[in-house]
Structures are given as structure tokens and as C-alpha cells.
Structure 1
Amino acid sequence: MNSYIQYFASVSLNTDLFETNIINIILLLGILFVVIKKFLTENLTARKEKIVQGIENAETRLADSNKRYNEAKKQWSQMDIIIKEITQQMETTKQNVLKLKWDQGKDDLSKKFTTAIVVLRNRENKIFNDVTKEVSKKALNQVILKLKKQLGKVEQSAIVNMKITQLGE
């Protein structure tokens, strides 16, 4: 222990502030460089590897995204073609249905008009027959009245007998 005391006693303390600070700073930087060099090198290497790996992952995701985008674009164009075909088929079907409905409507109207004409003709014939019967009845009644006034009972009996015999024959 005496040797340590003698060593410290023999070492003289430099009181020049400028020289001691520069030496202290150089020593501090040297110690920091030696101690921190390994730590910084490891951290920077790990950081570099993470960045490179992140870039590679991003490039992989970009390639996958481009593939999916191109596939979606292709499907979109296929869907567009399918939609156009469906629209054309729908227009054709619509025109066919409209034509069919038009033809059915025309046929239905034709049948209804034909039925209406037949009904009207039947009514016309019935009315004509009714009018003819009424006119015949009235004409026959007037003839009978005139005959009754102009003919006597004997002549009327003779005409009736003659008509009865004609009916019997």
C-alpha cells in the first residue's frame, strides 16, 4: 500500500485547465468509441437487416398486389362482356314478349269483335223476327176485322170449312 501512496505522491497534478480538458475529452471519446462501437455496429446491422427485409416484403406484397390487380382487371372485363350479353338477351326476350303480347292482344280483340258482331246480328235477326211477327199479327187481325165486316156469318163459315178441308188434305 505504501507503493500506491508513493506512486500518487510522485504523480504531479497538472493544473493547466486547457490541457487537462482536452486530454479528458480525448480519453472520453476513445472510451466511448471503443465501448459504443460494438453496440452501434450491432444495432445498425440489425436495423439494416430489418430495413432490407421490410423492402423485400414490400416488393413481394407489391408483386402480389399487381397480380391480384391484373386478375381483378381481367375478371372485370369478363364481367363486362357477360353483362353486355345478358343485356342483349334481355332486349331480345323483351321484344319477343312484347311481340307475343301484341299478337295475343290482337287475337283477343279479333275474337271479341267477331263475338260482338255475331251477338249483334243475332239480336238484329231476333228483333227483325219479332217485328215481322207483330206486323203479321196486326195485318192478320186487320184482315180478319175487315172480313168480319164485309162477310156475313154464312160466308165466314164456308171459308173456315174450306180452309179446314185444305188443312186436312
Structure 2
Amino acid sequence: MKSYLEYFASSENFGVALNTDIFETNIINIILLLVILFVVIKNFLTENLTARKKKIVDDIQNAETRLADSNKRYTEAKKQWAQMDIIIKEINHQMEVTKQNVLKLKWDQGKEDLSKKFATAIAVLRNRENKIFNDVIKEVSKKALNRVIFKLQKQLGKVEQSAIVNRKITQLGD
């Protein structure tokens, strides 16, 4: 510092001169630069930082609002999901009940159809049995009658046969 004071005190260096002492000039230049920067840029930086802070705060508030809205929508979606789950379970239950009812109805209809078919088959079989029985009785009767006629023809002569026929004719006339 001594050299600096001596520098200003001497008359030969009165005025503006080049100081070659790098240490002294850099410190003064740096201090002057910082003071000028502080004075000039202070308002600019303050305004920019304030605006940036306000923007960050607004962004955080918007993000919190969106988060609250998202949480609300998520809660509503969970409620709707639970309701849909209940509705799906009810639909599945109703579908199962309907399926069982349809199966029971089909089973009952099938049973009824089979009963009708069996009843019809039994009636057809009884009719055929009766027809066959009647055919057998007719055949047996025909054969028995033919045998009786054959035996009578052998045992009775023509005169006796004529007498029986005449008697029957007279009975028919009375």
C-alpha cells in the first residue's frame, strides 16, 4: 500500500498513468467491477429472480391443484370401479340363476316330451298287441271252425247235412 500512496503523492505521476503492479490493479478492478455489477445488475437480477420465484410458486400451486384434482378423479374412478364390480357380480349371479332356470325348464320339457313319447309308444304297442291278439284269435277261430266243419263233413252224411241246413233256414224264417 505504501507504493500506492507514494504513487499519488509524487508530482511526476500526477494524472493518469499506467500502473504495472498487477496485484494492485486487479484488486481495484475487481472491486470496481463488483460494485458496478452490484449497482447495475441488482435491479435486473432482483426483478428476474422475483419473477422466477413467482413463476415457480405459481407452477407449484398449479401442480398441487392438478394433484388434488387427479386424486379426486382417482377416488371417483375407484368408486366407479367398485360399483361396476358389484354390478358385474350381480349380472353374473343373475346369469347363473337364469342358466339354471333354463336348464331346469329344458330338463322338465325334455322329461315331458319323453313321457309323451313313451306314452305314445306304449299306446302304439298296446294297439299292435291288441291287433295281433285279435288276428291270432281270428286265425285260431278260423282254423277251429274249419276243423269242426271238416269233422262234421266226415261224420255227417249228405242227408243229415241237408236236414241241419233246412232246420236252420226255418229258424231264420220264424
Alignment of 1:19-34 (within 5 A): 19-34=24-39
| Offset of residue 86 of structure 1 | 2.0
Deviation of 1:90 (Å): 2.1
Task: Map Cα deviations across residues 2-53 of structure 1 (whole Å, 9 max, x no partner).
Answer: xxxxxx9833332222211211222222222222222222221111111101
Map 1:80-159 → 2, pairs under 5 A: 80-159=85-164
Gaps of 5+ in 1: 1-7
Aligned amino acid, residue 17 of structure 1: I
Residue of structure 2 in register with 1:44 after alignment: 49
4+ runs deviating over 6 angstroms: none
What CA RMSD, in Å, does the superposition of the two structures yield over aligned residues? Answer: 2.0
State the identity %.
85
Distance 2:91 2:171 in 1: 86
Residues 168, 123 of structure 1: CA spacing in aligned structure 2 closer, same or farther, 3 A cutoff?
Answer: farther
Q: Which residue identity does 1:83 align to in structure 2? A: I
* 2:18 equivalent in structure 1: 13
Q: Take 1:111 and 1:167, find their aligned partners in 2: how far apart are those partners? A: 51
Q: 2:108 & 2:173 partners in 1: Cα distance? A: 62
Q: Structure 2 regions of 5+ residues with no counterpart?
A: 1-12
Verify: 1:65 aligned to 2:73, yes or no.
no
Deviation at 1:84, TM superposition (A): 2.4
Q: Which of the residues 75, 78, 82 maps onto 2:80?
A: 75
Describe the shift of the 1:10–1:94 C-alpha distance in structure 2 as closer, same or farther (beyond 3 A).
closer
Query: TM-score, length-normalised on structure 2?
Result: 0.83
Instruction: Map Cα deviations across residues 126-152 of structure 1 (whole Å, 9 max, x no partner).
Output: 001111111111111121122222221
Aligned to 1:166: 171
SS of the aligned residue for 2:19 comes to coil
